[in-house]
Amino acid sequence: MQCISLKNLNASKSQALPVFGVGVAFIDESAISIGPLHEMNKVIAQIRSIVSTLSPAHKELHIKPLENICSMSSNDGRIRLNELLDSVTDATGKEDFMKYLRMLTLQKIALDNGYSKLLLGSCTSTIACHVISATVKGQGYSLPGDVQYVDARWEVPVVLPLRDCTAEELNQLCHLDGLELLQLIKRPSNSINSLVSSFVARLRDENPSRERTIVRTAEKLRPFCFNKFVEDTYHEFVPSRLRCKFQNINNSETALSEVLCPLCGSPLSEPEVQSLRNILEKTQTLVENFTAHCCQSCSFQILPTGAESLQHFYTVLPQSVTVRVTGGTSDHSQLRELIDDCLLVDDDNDDDGT
């Protein structure tokens, strides 16, 4: 099937589906790993071997160190990355922040190499854990955006093709295909994510269908505008015979109307958006402007509390994070448009002195 899909004539006789190329990305986290360096090098060598033996066509392998998102200089990037993580004292916040840095790294790989979509290996098992952990962290408002097949809030849209497969099913598939399974060394943690993973594992042992039940429940939540297919580009995601079955919306309706957290990319809830009105009323520093745009979860779990610590945290953040929020008053007009529905409008009669 894969070979056929890589040939235009066979992929679609109407030539509606173009040939596509596939690349494989792996993020090297040896800079912050608790394991010895030679173990990570061994894993990378195994990954190269696995990718080289995959069925045609050729798949480019991209291996990027996580510290490159902070600086292209290896030494400087490693220092800045460790300073960032040391600034986050909460165990759960540190894990989540590393997850966000991984996504930024994958986005950079996709952009630098001309990929139009980013396919993640998130399966039913991992999504079920995310549903529960996000609920515990108070991220229920943004949860619907994380469990859909398509997430277009990023510059390179993210797709979850394995969303309906459990980890056990994928392990069995790899075994049948003769693919080696690799296990990275994880640092011990008492974070919310770790506790939830243990809890879901116990549920799975008692009843394997509970993972799907959790995900199906989350699917009933109303998705955001960035989870819908756009009129001009949604055809790229689905076979031609199924395209008519998917919802089609106009481009004017898909303009991103959500205010997104600059750290995690989660849409802000209405109370969080309302609090941003203060930005329109007074001039703030870049750090204050940035922190005001962060969601409550990131503010509580990731951002340092002290003023000096917060300033240092902001200075070592990757530029791809800080550019999401512009300083001063330059972004006030855009922000006013985004939160216009939440603002109070003066009575027109006030201009007449009545």
pLDDT band at 209 (very low <50, low <70, confident <90, very high): very high
pLDDT at residue 182, rounded to an integer = 84
Q: Measure Cα distances from 283 to 16, 176, 189, 289, 299 in Å.
A: 52, 61, 40, 9, 20
Domain extent for 337: 259-303+324-354
Residue 67 DSSP label: G
Residues 136, 178 share a domain: yes
Whether 317 maps to a domain, the answer reads no
Same domain, 114 and 206: yes
143 within 8 A of 215, measured Cβ to Cβ: no
State residue 227 phi and psi, 5-degree precision. Answer: -100, 5
136 plus 161 within the same structural domain: yes
CA separation for the pair 290, 153 (Å, rounded): 19
pLDDT of residue 134: 96
Local structure of residue 249 (DSSP, 8 states): B
Q: How far is CA 257 from CA 143, 225, 240, 334, in A?
A: 17, 8, 29, 11
| 212 φ, ψ (degrees, to nearest 5) | -65, -35
Q: Are 354 and 295 in contact (CB under 8 A)?
A: no
Q: What is the pLDDT of residue 27?
A: 94
Last residue of a domain, one of 252, 277, 294: 252
The residue with greater pLDDT, 103 or 33, is 103
- The number of distinct structural domains making up the chain is 2
DSSP structure class, residue 166: -
Of the candidates 252, 274, 293, which is a domain's last residue? 252
Taking CA atoms, 6 is separated from 10, 101, 121, in Å, by: 8, 32, 21
312, part of any domain: no
Distances (CA, A) of 56 to 2, 53, 106, 178, 295: 8, 9, 23, 16, 44
Query: What is the spatial distance between Cα 262 and Cα 250, in angstroms, rounded to a whole number?
Result: 27
Q: Where does residue 242 fall: left (phi above 0), alpha (psi -120 to 50 degrees), or beta otherwise? A: alpha
Confidence at residue 56, expressed as pLDDT on a 0 to 100 scale: 73
The CATH number of whichever domain residue 173 belongs to comes to 3.40.50.620
Under DSSP, is residue 22 helix (H, G, I), strand (E, B) or coil?
coil
pLDDT band at 327 (very low <50, low <70, confident <90, very high): very low
- What is the dihedral angle through the alpha carbons of 195, 200, 204, 209, rounded to the nearest 10 degrees? 180
Q: Which long-range contacts (CB under 8 A, 24 or more apart) does 169-173 make?
A: 169/123, 170/123
Reported as a pLDDT band with limits 50, 70 and 90, residue 13 is: low
Does 315 fall in a domain? no
- Shared domain check, 276 and 143: no
Please indicate, yes or no, whether residues 56 and 200 belong to a single structural domain of this protein.
yes
| Low-confidence winner among 42-51, 139-148, 178-187 (lowest mean pLDDT) | 178-187
Instruction: Place 98 in a pLDDT band, splitting at 50, 70 and 90.
Output: very high
Distance from C-alpha of 156 to C-alpha of 80, rounded to nearest angstrom: 25
The Cα 106–Cα 109 span in angstroms is 5
Q: What is the pLDDT of residue 349?
A: 47
29-69 residue pLDDT tens? 988 888 788 888 899 999 999 998 887 778 899 999 999 99
Amino acid found at 264: C
Distance between CA atoms of 57 and 307, rounded to whole angstroms? 53
pTM, two decimals, is 0.81
Of the ranges 152-156, 193-197, 224-228, which one carries the lowest mean pLDDT score?
A: 224-228
Lowest mean pLDDT among 120-124, 130-134, 238-242: 238-242
Tell me how far the alpha carbon of residue 27 is from its chain's centroid.
Answer: 14
Residue 113 forms part of a structural domain: yes
Residues 235 and 282 occupy one common structural domain: no
Cα–Cα distance, 240 to 74 (Å, whole number): 45
Domain membership flag for residue 194: yes
In terms of domains, do 64 and 194 share one?
Answer: yes
Assess whether pLDDT exceeds 60 at residue 291. Answer: yes
Q: Is the peptide bond prior to 57 cis by the omega test (within 30 degrees of 0)? A: yes
Q: Is the residue at 81 inside a domain?
A: no
Confidence of residue 4 (pLDDT cuts 50, 70, 90): low
Residue 80: inside a domain: no
User: Do 248 and 295 share a domain, yes or no?
Assistant: no
- Asked if 212 and 165 touch (Cβ cutoff 8 Å), the reply is no
Confidence of residue 71 (pLDDT cuts 50, 70, 90): confident
Pair (266, 215) in one structural domain: no
pLDDT at 274: 84
Average pLDDT, the chain: 81
Q: Are residues 233 and 333 in the same domain?
A: no
Asked if 51 and 104 count as a contact pair (C-beta separation under 8 A), the reply is: no
214/270 same-domain check? no
Choose one of 252, 286, 316: the last residue of a domain: 252
Q: What are phi and psi of 55, to 5 degrees?
A: -65, 155
Same domain, 241 and 352: no
CA-closest candidate to residue 295, choices 269, 327, 328, 331: 269
Cα first-last separation, the chain: 74
**What size, in residues, is the chain?**
354
pLDDT band for 337, please (50, 70, 90 cuts).
low
Q: How far apart are CA 2 and CA 11, in angstroms?
A: 9
Please return the burial class of 337, using the count of CB atoms within 10 Å of its CB with bins 0-12, 13-18 and 19+: exposed
Domain assignment of residue 83, yes or no: no
